[in-house]
Structure 1
Amino acid sequence: MFLNITSKEADDDQIDVLIDPYGMNVDVQNVPDKGNEANGLVENDEMYDAAVIMKKELESYGLRVEITKDSKDQVIETYGEDGRLSKGYKKQAKYYLFLRFNANPSSEANGMEIWHSSYSSATLARNMMYYMEKDKVVKAGSLYYTNPSWPGIVTTSLTQGRLDNETIYDLNLQLRESGGRATLAGRYSQTSAEANKSFKDANGMQGVELDFAYITNEEDAANWKKNKEKIVKSCAKAFALSINVLEG
C-alpha cells in the first residue's frame, strides 16, 4: 500500500466561527436597538469592538472567522437570507458566538454568564467559563444558573411554538435560529418559517451567548473599561482551548 500525501488550501467559502455582536438589531422593533446603556457604556459600541478584538485573536490561532456586521453602525436583522445568521450558514460555520452585555436593577446582579441552547450540551459553556475564571479577568455570575455547581452557566428558557402550540423551542432566537435542524431553526413562528426556511434542514452552528458583564453594576462596568482587551482575548483563548485548537 502506498500513501499519496497532498496539501490543500482552506476553502475560502468556509469559515469556522461566526461572531455576532449585539446592536442595531431590528428583529423586534423598527428602530435600531443599541442595546443596554449604563455607566458610560453602550452595548452596541462595546460589543462591536469586542468582536473585532476576538476575530483577530481567534485568527491568530488559525481559525477562519467572520463578524455578522461590517461596521459598528450597520443595521441588520437576525432573520432572513440577508440577515446575520445567513453568513454563517452560507459559509458552513461550525460555531456561533453571540456577544452581549447584561443589565439588571438589582445590585446583586454581576459577573459573566454563558448561555447555551436547551438542545445542546453545556460542556462548551462550562469549559469556557472555567478557563476565563482561571485567567482571573471575570467572575461567574451568581444570579442566574441552571445548575448550582455551574455558576454563570445558563440553559435558555423554553417556549411553545407559535405555529403548532405544541413543539418546545428555545426562546432565545439567536441560539434557536443558528443551530439549524438541531435546534429546530425555521419552525418557531410564521416569520421564522418564511425568513429562515433554508435553515430548517441545514447543518447548524453550535452557539453560545457570551454575556460579559452587567453594565448596570459599577464594579462590572469599571472592570470592562479597564480590562476589555484582556477579557476578550481571554474569552477567545478559552474558546480555542475548549474546542481543542489549543492545548491547555
Structure 2
Amino acid sequence: MDALELVLFPLRAYLITCFGDIPAMSLLMKMKGHNGKRPCRMCMIEAVPGPDSRTHYVPLDRSSHPNIADSTKTTIYDPHNLPMRTEEQFMAQATEVESQHTKAAAERLSKQYGVKGTPILSKLGSLSFPKSVPYDFMHQIFENLLPNLVAHWTADFKGLDDGEEEYELANTVWQAVGLETEKAGDTIPSAYGGRVPNIQQHKSEMNAERWSFWALYIAPVVLRRRFQKPKYYQHFVKLVKLLNVCLQYEISKKEIDELERGFEEWVKEYEK
C-alpha cells in the first residue's frame, strides 16, 4: 500500500543477482564446483591436479606442471584476457550435457565444461548466467583467500611446503603473532569491531569480520619483520592496500583500473 495516498498498487520485484558461498552457488548454477576441472563460474580456465591428485588448482602459470608441459594445453593464462564464459555458451553447454543419451556421456561432457545442466533460475528473464552470479567479496577474500594465505605461512595448507621459497613462519614466530593479536584488543576501542582472538590458538573462532579486521588493522603491525625475507611482508601489504580500496564507499573508474592491475600483479607474485 502507498502510505501517502493510502491506495493499493502492484509491486513487482525482479531477481537480478544471486550471492552465496561457492558450493551453494555451484548448486544453484548446476556446476561441478570449485574442485572440478573447470571450476570457475566466470571463465573456462582449466584446473590442474595437485600433488595428491584429488585436489585441483588453477594457477595462471602451469608451464612446469607434468600434465601440461608436454601437451597442447594452455601453459600460461593471461589474467587480463581469460577465456570468459558467456550466457550463450553456458546455456548451450548445459543443453548439450542434458541431451546426452547415457549418464556416462553426460558426465564426460560435464567434466569438460564444468556444467551439469540447466539452472532452474535461468527461466527468469531478469537473470543472466553467469554474470548474475558473481563471486561475493566476503567469501572470496575473508573466508577463503586470507585463511588460505595464513595456512601457507604456517605450513598447514594441504600438506604443501614452501618448496624453494622461505615464506613459512616458525612456530615460535606464529605464537608471538597470536599473542600480540590478542593483546591488541586491550587498546582498540570496541566501536571498531569485535575483539580478535589469539589467531594461533583459536583460528577456528575467526569469522569474516575478524579476518577482515585482523588483515586490515592488526596484521600489518604484528607481521612486520616476522618473515625471513621482506618480500613476503611487502606482498601481504600490497593485498591490504588493495582491500582498503575495495572497501571504500565510493570507487572511481581510475581506482577500478588500478585494482584490476593490482590484483593481476599480486596473483602473479603469489605464484612465483
TM-score by length of 2: 0.25
TM-score by length of 1: 0.27
* Larger of the two Rg values belongs to structure: 2
Higher-strand-fraction structure: 1
Higher RCO (C-alpha under 8 Å, 6+ residues apart): 1
Higher-helix-fraction structure: 2
